[in-house]
């Protein structure tokens, strides 16, 4: 009877955690913590499960040391989580330069936020924000302050990767004021829960390693189980089916034979750098994200991501007829009878008023945010990514480093000497950009497009090689190091996250089925 109750509770916990993960994506982390992870009923389920598990182990007189250590680690981790829930203090403190502060704002279930007193005070002395060269992305920001604790004074500093501790309080850099004269720090005081939880995690790691080498442990028994062989067979079948689909996809590229660059040429395009997501990265990274966001995969009909991206850049009209936009299931897909994959031209029809979903997108931004309009906005987002690429807006691959202070805009702001800006071929260039550079930035893609359309592959390759040299010369200090560049290319070449996810998911299901089988 105890075994059945444990099994039911275990399944219940899995279901609750799965639903909490889904809710967290839509409602936010705070909501999930308040209504799931920190809710009394969820804590009660864990407590009952832990107590029954301990009772069952004692009743069965389990003597396998590695198994006992594993279950003990879970109990210690749960105890640490309970101590954190009961005694931990969390909040935010806002500092302004030269103004001592000894209070912080803590979250309160009844009042929302309430002011709490610190046993010491902080006085911000200096705040500094550093940007990545050539971008508007923050590389790091740090706050230097004085800690006043009674008659004692000490200097402290926190940054994005640096935590400061005083007494049992840990301070983290959270955000900052736009004027650069204020900083917001996150405060966390958990003197009991953290050491207990870390002890539990250490024991968990030791017990898992122990079980790997324990001849009487569960892992060794699992390796001998016929379920593992069946699981491996199923995995092999899934992989073989995916290979068949890939071969089928590769045979379907006939419609695009005259609208793609050769693989080797497209790879040269992918080796260039681009300003993307407020950082400088390989064009290959942008190409992979483009494919995954729009099509839902790393490639299209046997073509590499670089071939797809360059296809849209140089052969946009042909690609506009390709079923490249993945349409998720939803009310809009059903109402408009959309296929699983639609072409760009599907959404542009003169007889239907031009942009067929334009009205629904406008209604979404006017407040009609039901599922139908949410899907319209999602599709519109994909279409906007494609249109920005076709227009050249997102192709910020042409850097320029200013050699002296120059006026940037009509509001009399200045660009400092040594500042690198990455331009697209359609950007409006400041007058301070040297004439020779301005001509190159404005015309390189037009000239490149002419050779692409003429099928002059050798000239196209030469263009990409020269463009890479131009980037190295004109980018100042904004390029990533050679090691960083190689690391990102390796990470792009292998879908590590997908591989690990599939491996862990398969092993998890096998372990679950094996446990059910034994019970």
pLDDT at 38: 77
Contact 38, 85 (CB under 8 A): yes
Residue 404: DSSP 8-state: S
**89-189, what's its fold?**
Tick-borne Encephalitis virus Glycoprotein; domain 1 (2.60.98)
- C-alpha 101, offset from chain centre: 35
pLDDT at 236: 55
CA dihedral 489, 494, 496, 502 (to 10 degrees): 160
The two structure tokens encoding residue 236 = 């092999």
Residue 76: name the closest of 206, 222, 239, 237 by CA: 206
Parts of the chain with a pLDDT under 50: 242-253
pLDDT at 388: 95
Compute how many other C-beta atoms are within 10 angstroms of the C-beta atom of residue 373: 21
pLDDT digits (tens, 9 = 90+) for 287-329: 999 999 999 999 999 999 999 999 999 999 999 999 999 999 8
pLDDT at 227: 56
Q: Is 372 helix (H, G, I), strand (E, B) or coil?
A: helix
Phi, psi of 314 (to 5 degrees): -100, -20
Compute how many other C-beta atoms are within 10 angstroms of the C-beta atom of residue 442: 16
For residue 110, CA distances in Å to 114, 188, 242 come to: 9, 20, 53
The rounded distance, in Å, linking the Cα atoms of 237 and 193 is 46
The rounded distance, in Å, linking the Cα atoms of 318 and 256 is 8
As separate numbers, helices (DSSP H) first and strands (DSSP E) second, the chain gives 18, 18
Percent of all residues in the chain with a pLDDT value above 70, rounded to a whole number: 87
Contact 172, 158 (CB under 8 A): yes
Location of each CATH 2.60.98 domain in the chain: 89-189
pLDDT at 134: 64
Q: Where are the alpha helices (DSSP H) in 274-322?
A: 283-294, 305-314, 316-319
The rounded distance, in Å, linking the Cα atoms of 466 and 218 is 59
pLDDT at 503: 84
Strands (E), 37-111: 89-96, 101-108
pLDDT at 14: 82
């Amino acid at each position: 009877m105890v075994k059945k109750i444990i099994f039911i509770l275990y399944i219940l916990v899995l279901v609750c955690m799965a639903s909490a993960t889904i809710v967290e994506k839509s409602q936010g982390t705070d909501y999930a913590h308040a209504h799931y992870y920190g809710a009394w009923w969820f804590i009660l389920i864990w407590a009952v499960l832990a107590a029954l598990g301990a009772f069952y182990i004692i009743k069965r007189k389990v003597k396998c040391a590695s198994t006992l250590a594993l279950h003990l680690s879970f109990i210690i981790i749960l105890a640490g989580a309970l101590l954190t829930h009961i005694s931990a203090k969390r909040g935010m403190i806002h500092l302004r330069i030269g103004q001592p502060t000894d209070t912080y704002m803590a979250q309160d279930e009844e009042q929302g936020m309430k002011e709490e007193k610190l046993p010491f005070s902080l006085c911000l002395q200096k705040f500094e924000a550093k940007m990545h060269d050539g971008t508007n992305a923050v590389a790091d920001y740090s706050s230097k302050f004085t800690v006043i604790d009674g008659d004692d004074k000490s200097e402290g500093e926190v940054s994005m990767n640096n935590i400061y501790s005083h007494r049992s309080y840990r301070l983290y850099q959270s955000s900052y004021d736009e004027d650069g004269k204020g900083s917001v720090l996150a405060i966390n005081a958990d003197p009991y829960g953290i050491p207990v939880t870390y002890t539990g995690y250490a024991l968990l790691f030791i017990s898992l390693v122990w079980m790997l080498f324990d001849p009487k442990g569960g892992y060794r028994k699992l390796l001998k189980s016929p379920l593992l062989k069946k699981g491996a067979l199923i995995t092999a079948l899934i992989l073989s089916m995916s290979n068949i689909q890939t071969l089928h996809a590769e045979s379907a590229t006939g419609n695009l034979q005259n609208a793609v660059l050769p693989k080797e040429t497209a790879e040269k395009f992918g080796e260039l750098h681009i300003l993307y997501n407020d950082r400088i990265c390989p064009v290959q990274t942008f190409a992979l994200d483009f494919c995954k966001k729009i099509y839902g995969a790393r490639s299209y009909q046997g073509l590499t991501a670089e071939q797809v991206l360059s296809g849209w850049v140089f052969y946009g009209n042909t690609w506009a007829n390709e079923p490249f936009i993945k349409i998720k299931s939803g009310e809009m897909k059903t109402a408009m009878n959309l296929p699983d994959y639609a072409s760009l031209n599907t959404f542009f029809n003169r007889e239907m008023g031009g942009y067929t979903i334009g009205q629904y997108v406008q209604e979404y931004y006017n407040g009609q945010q039901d599922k139908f309009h949410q899907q319209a906005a999602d599709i519109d987002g994909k279409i906007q990514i494609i249109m920005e690429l076709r227009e050249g807006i997102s192709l910020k691959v042409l850097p320029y480093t200013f050699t002296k202070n120059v006026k940037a805009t009509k509001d009399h702001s200045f660009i400092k000497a040594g500042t690198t800006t990455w331009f697209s071929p359609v950007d409006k260039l400041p007058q301070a950009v040297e004439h020779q550079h301005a001509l190159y930035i404005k015309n390189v893609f037009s000239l490149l497009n002419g050779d692409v359309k003429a099928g002059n592959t050798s000239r196209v390759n030469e263009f990409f090689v020269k463009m890479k040299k131009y980037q190295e010369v004109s980018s100042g200090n904004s390029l990533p190091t050679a090691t960083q560049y190689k690391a990102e290319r390796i990470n792009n070449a292998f879908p590590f996250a997908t591989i690990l996810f599939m491996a862990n998911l398969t092993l998890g299901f096998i372990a679950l089925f094996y446990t059910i089988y034994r019970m």
